[in-house]
Every structure is written in structure tokens, then in C-alpha cells.
Chains A and B, each alone.
Chain A
Amino acid sequence: MKMVNRLVELDEGDVLLDDRSVRTLDETQLRRSVGYVIQQVGLFPHMTVGDNVAVVPRLLQWPKARIAGRVDELLQLMGLEPAEFRDRYPSQLSGGQRQRVGIARALAGDPGVLLMDEPFGALDPITRTRLQGEFLRLQDAVRKTVLFVTHDIDEAVRVGDRIAILREGGELVQYDTPNAILSHPADDFVAQLVGADRGLKLLALHRVDEVELEPVSLAGEDDPRVDASATLRDALSLMLTEAATHCVVTNGTRPLGTLSLDRIAELLAPR
């Protein structure tokens, strides 16, 4: 990861950014065009939240008004009310808030690429899950190429479009979509990594409204109801706890169709 922004120099091989070797790019220019988020966040303790976010825009010598606008925009985007947080110091923030500022800071110069080195690794599970969700929402809005390192396979499956699994020694074992990795692990190492519950993880990747539903008429009066935005895993869990074989997928109150245990089993069955 540090070779991408050349914090560590390459001894062999190459990293291409937009088809250009990072070796040929000016180190400073390169770093200002690549956002960098690390686990320890590394906020500047002597600068306010606003000044932290403004570091790269100031280096790029943006006009003052544009910098101020950008800072507020990013804080807003990260769910931090600018008026409340802009003038605080990092010591006055919680761990989750600090990492939000870290991400805002990395995005400030509008870099094409974002490097994230275990960004949520030091956070408690609740904050981590929430920030993953916010990160996905953010990614929908800003659309960056993100290189994201994690040791948490659930996190990888949740936030990644494509996952590269590395074994000890840096050997690339599998590089594929979360779907493919969960349904067809390349070898025992990957299978063990994704865990015995890989089927459940796979179900968690899909919303109930993504699958072909059966007619509503198949369901009984007492069958549980599940919202269209829920994952297949949520639906399965619901059916198991309610001891039902079917559930009704609804959009608000309007029933969309029926989902059965058999249908879920079918989806998981190896093709």
C-alpha cells in the first residue's frame, strides 16, 4: 500500500496509476493526488478538525473560500455537523469521529484514488459496522477507486467490489468478487478464511428483492413479513426463529412475493 504513494520505494515491479508508473510521477504531486487513511488516523493534534481537513487544499493553494466550502461539505458528508465540529481539536473527538475526519481529510483534495489501511481496525464493533455503512454510502456519492486493506473477511465482503486474498509471504491466492469468493473458494486456505458460515455470508450480500420471488398466494396468513431492503440472511434468520417455511416480502405494507426456505437452499446449492 505504501508503495502506491511511494512512502516505500519500489525495488522491483511497478504500480500503475491511470496507466502511468508511479515511479515516473513527482513524489509530492503523487501523494497529493492519492488519499491516505490509516488505522491510527494520524490527525494533527495541534490543528482543529477544519484545519486538518484543509491541509491538502492549502498545499494545492486553493482560494480560501473554496477551502472553507470544501471543509464544510466533507464534514457534512461524513455526518459531522460543521458548525459543531469544525473548531474542535482531535483530542475532543471519539475514535469513530476521528476516523471520519481522517477520511474527510483524505478526500479533501479530491484525489482519484483512496488508500485505506485497516481504517476501521481500531474501532469498537458497533462503530466499525456503522462506519462501514457510511463508507458504502459515501462511496456511492464520491465514486473513487479505493484500495482497502483489512484482516476482517466480513469487512472485505461487505465493502469490497473485488477482493484480493493474500497468503503469508504475499502470495495472491484468489482475486475475485465477494460472491465468487464465498461460493467458490479457490482452495482450503480461502475456504478456511471465509469460514464455515460462508453460505450465511453470501446470503448477507443480497437483498431479498434481488431474488426471484414466488407468488404471494403461496404464503399463509401467519407467515412472517420481511421488508424488501432486508438481506437474505435476515429473512432466513426470521424464518428459523418463527419456525416458518415461508415469509412474505413487503415493500412497506404492500406484499411483493413469497420467499421460501427451499428457495434459499436452491440459491446456495453449488451450481
Chain B
Amino acid sequence: MTSEPVIPDFGQGSDCVREDRFFCWDWTQQHWDDTFQPALVEHIELTLIAVSIGFVISFALALLAYRVRRFDAPIGALSGFLYTIPSLALFQLLVPVTGLTVTTVEVALVSYTMLVLFRNILEGLRAAPPDVREAARAMGLSPRQSFLRVELPLALPAILAGLRIATVMTISLATVGAFVVPEGLGAPIFSGLREFFQTKFVVAGALAVALALVADALLVLVGRALTPWAHARRPA
């Protein structure tokens, strides 16, 4: 664990810091570069890696369940089960296997994304209406062409909805990962709590919320760009 002072800069801090007010702008500014910014970058990395890996695995599993229906229930049950394990318990369970490492955090985060992503991707792929599938077949699209040009594009709205939920959830959950390794915005939140220094965890917490909002908004924009038909308005 890090060897930070229990209460930072008692002697030389401002009144705000000495009195441990809810939020101290000067301390935030002074420690942006050495505390918040690196934590924010780490947090983005944690999230991106978890959601990307979770997406790839979920996509492969959803594809399998889409093609072979009998895999649907077992995969759904497994990802549903993973989702029910309390995050702290899951981190703890993984520590003996993968140690106090980022891997432990990522494995847990990936597991949590899977329920949402698997379900949404699968439902999305199944969303193409029967008449549309039949039309594709009747026009001489091969199963592969039908998948790539019809079923997959039509699955995009559901997939993007899943990605939004998974991303926001991962950003929030990743803070708990600091319980295992002091990475991401969870680190200043934990140390702030331990040191009874409010500014630290208030700012880190606010950054996590802001990051979630920004990520969600970005995904909405990506969704608009990728699925223009879903937002098309009827001309008056």
C-alpha cells in the first residue's frame, strides 16, 4: 500500500485543508497532476480494457447462442450467475488465483459486463423481423451476406444500448477495484476515506460520475452516427 501521510500537509495547508472542509479547490489544483489526473487516466484504461474484452467474449458467445440455440440457456445462466456475486466478494475470491494485480480487477469487471452485453447482443441479433429475413433470403443474399448486411446492422441499437449500460456500470464498479490494487479513481477515494480527508474522495467520486456521463454521451453520439435509421423522423 502507498505510504501517504495520514492527514496531508497539516502544517502548511490552507484553512480549508486543515479544517477538512467538504471540498478544497486549492488542494484539488495542487494535486491534480500527481493524484487526480493519473487516477482518471488509469480509470479510463481499466474501463476500456474491461469493456473491450467483455464485448469480444460476449459477442463470440452471443454468436454461438444465436447459431446454436441450445447454448443460449447455459451461457445466459452463467453470465447471470457471475453478475450476482457481490463485487467485493468476487475481487476477494480472485485474489488467490490472480494475486493483488490489475488482472484480478479486469477479470471481475469483464465478468460483470458479460451479462448485459451477451443478452443485448443476442436479443439484437434476433431483432430482425421474419419478413425482413425472408426478403433477404428471397433476394439471393447468402446466410453470411444476410448476417453482415441485415441482421448485424439491425442488432446495432440493442448492442449500443448494452454497451452504454456496461460502460457506465464498469466505470462505477472499477472504483471498487482499488480494494485490490490502488489503480484508477478508486485509489484516491479509498485513501481519502482512510485519511478522513474529504476533498480527496469527493473530487475522485465526482470525476467518476463525470467520466460515466461523458462516456455515456459519447456512446449516444456514436449510436446516432451508426444507426441513422433509428432516429429518422418522418418529414412533415
Contact = CB atoms under 8 A, between A and B. Distances in A.
A231 interface: no
B136 to A, nearest CB: 8
B154 A56 contact: no
B80 interface: no
Interface stretch (B163-171, B192-200, B225-233): B225-233
Given A46-B229, A47-B229, A41 B131 contact: yes
B89 interface: no
Contact of A28 (B135, B140, B235): B140
A88 interface: yes
Contact of A46 (B131, B137, B153, B235): B153
Contacts of A29: 140
A133 interface: no
A185 to B, nearest CB: 34
A31 interface: yes
A193 B24 CA distance: 87
Interface in B126-161: 129, 131-132, 134-142, 145, 150, 153-154, 156
Given A46-B154, A46-B229, A88-B232, A32 B140 contact: yes
A92 B232 contact: yes
B131 A40 contact: yes
Nearest to B150: A44
A260 interface: no
Contacts of B135: 36, 38, 41-44
A28 B229 CA distance: 28
B138 A5 contact: yes
A30 B135 CA distance: 14
Contacts of A88: 232, 235
Nearest to B153: A46
A31 B156 CA distance: 28
A123 B129 CA distance: 19
B134 A42 contact: yes
Contact of B139 (A41, A48, A55): A55
B140 A91 contact: no
Given A45-B154, A46-B153, A91 B229 contact: yes
B222 to A, nearest CB: 16
Given A42-B135, A46-B154, 13 more contacts: A5-B138, A7-B138, A38-B135, A41-B135, A44-B132, A44-B135, A45-B154, A55-B141, A59-B139, A59-B145, A88-B232, A89-B228, A92-B232
Interface of A: 5, 7, 27-32, 36, 38, 40-48, 55-56, 59, 88-92, 105
Interface of B: 129, 131-132, 134-142, 145, 150, 153-154, 156, 227-230, 232-235
